[in-house]
Copies of this chain bind each other. A is one copy, B any other.
Amino acid sequence: MDRGGGRYVTLAQVAQAAEVSLATASRVLNGGERVVRPELRERVLAAARRLRYVPNAQAQALALGATATVGLVMHDVGDPYFAAIARGAIDVATEHGAVVMLGSTFRSPEREIEYVSTLRAQRARAILLVGSGFAGAEYLRPMRAELANYRRAGGRYAFVSHHDLPGDAVLPDNRGGAAAIGRALAELGHRRIAVAAGPLAMTTVRNRVDGFVDALAAAGVARADVRVVETDFSEDGGYTAAHRLVSEGLDATALFCTTDVMAVGALLALRERGVSVPGELSLIGFDDIPIVRHLTPSLSTVALDLDRIGREAMTLVLDPSTPKRARRVTIPAHLVLRDSTARVPAHPLRTRHTH
């Protein structure tokens, strides 16, 4: 932190220029009430304008003991899922006159913890943790401690998606949405099904996979007939998973990817391998990010109102009331069947051997 070359003009300078006391200047410029004589008021305003005074938010925060900063920590702003949520969250924050500090962890648990610590140092008024939490004590223990300290100091926080941690949360209906997919595929006659899952250490992934598998079981599809491939939570992950499945001799008529982003990668791989979608393989994703309706075939998926998720979460965390119990806002998920899913072919091919 080097000191900049120039100087900002201070309230004291404005007061001096207007020939009033510091307190008076403070009252007209930053105090809401109009308890200042119009004449002085004008003098101060004029001086401030002339000197182009801008209050020092840091100093204000220090004096007031409260900030207008809110933290937004997400896995990857570059990912359309998170970008859409960020958009809604930022919009609400701005409406509330809050400034957003954004952190992109690139899916590193350590960076996530670091960000919370940084935001704590910034005395952020609230923190939003967006994106699936991680499993494992190396993450949970320090994160729990960070958040506990933060809350103890008066900070508010909330999660988007499940985190195995105490706190308010906005929860997309992952299980329900995935279950709807499972039922739909079963109804379409699919019996041998593959899943391209992100890291199972992520609660979101687990919920989606579990919801899917359970619904399938209820529909009479045995767990053994569901092949789950664990891979990366990204387009590349989906791509890799699909390639692997095909190479192993694709013994499935449908593929569920735990996110649309992964499904996009899978679709590319399937095209490269000459697997027709949905002719040979039905494909379905999750999230309904903006682009997937434009794919060919357009992607079936489960729609989540991402913008709303961001808005709800920011609203939750900016709401001054402090209920005793943790609040959960569930965001409904609804199935959107487009062109990438179809009834299982009458004479399904058994196994393919490419290579």
Chain A residues proximal to chain B, CB less than 8 Å: 1-9, 52, 54-62, 64-69, 72, 76-80, 83-84, 86-87, 90-91, 94, 99-104, 106, 111, 117-118, 120-123, 125, 145, 149, 151-155, 235, 264, 267-268, 290-291, 294-296, 307, 320, 322
Report Cα–Cα, A111/B95, bound state, in Å: 11
Name 22 interchain pairs, CB-CB below 8 A, sorted by A: A1-B60, A4-B125, A4-B153, A6-B153, A6-B155, A7-B153, A8-B123, A9-B153, A54-B117, A54-B120, A55-B121, A56-B121, A57-B118, A57-B121, A77-B87, A77-B90, A78-B83, A86-B102, A90-B103, A99-B103, A100-B103, A235-B290
A111, closest chain B residue (CB): B94
Report Cα–Cα, A104/B264, bound state, in Å: 27
Assess the A294–B267 pair: CB atoms within 8 A. Answer: yes
Min distance, Cβ A306 to any Cβ of chain B, angstroms: 9
Oligomeric state, in number of copies?
Answer: 2
Q: If the complex has contacts A8-B153, A154-B5, A267-B294, are A62 and B64 also in contact, measured as CB distance less than 8 A?
A: no
Report Cα–Cα, A67/B122, bound state, in Å: 11
Q: Which residues of B contact A1 (CB under 8 A)?
A: 60-61, 64, 66-68
A71, closest chain B residue (CB): B99
Q: If the complex has contacts A2-B66, A120-B54, are A101 and B104 also in contact, measured as CB distance less than 8 A?
A: no
Q: If the complex has contacts A4-B153, A66-B3, are A99 and B101 also in contact, measured as CB distance less than 8 A?
A: yes
Q: If the complex has contacts A87-B77, A90-B104, A123-B57, are A294 and B320 also in contact, measured as CB distance less than 8 A?
A: no
Q: Which of A57, A100, A152 has the most CB of B within 10 A?
A: A57
Q: Which residues of B contact A86 (CB under 8 A)?
A: 77-78, 102, 104
Assess the B64–A61 pair: CB atoms within 8 A. Answer: no
Q: Which of A5, A79, A106 has the most CB of B within 10 A?
A: A5
Report Cα–Cα, A62/B80, bound state, in Å: 37
Q: Which of A65, A68, A100, A122 has the most CB of B within 10 A?
A: A122
Identify 4 new A-B residue pairs, CB closer than 8 A, beyond the known A4-B66, A4-B153, A80-B83.
A6-B154, A8-B153, A83-B83, A296-B296
Q: If the complex has contacts A52-B145, A77-B83, are A100 and B101 also in contact, measured as CB distance less than 8 A?
A: yes
Q: Which residues of B contact A59 (CB under 8 A)?
A: 62
Q: If the complex has contacts A4-B66, A123-B57, A145-B52, are A101 and B103 also in contact, measured as CB distance less than 8 A?
A: no
Q: Which residues of B contact A80 (CB under 8 A)?
A: 80, 83
Report Cα–Cα, A235/B290, bound state, in Å: 10
Q: Which residues of B contact A101 (CB under 8 A)?
A: 69, 99-102
Report Cα–Cα, A62/B67, bound state, in Å: 14
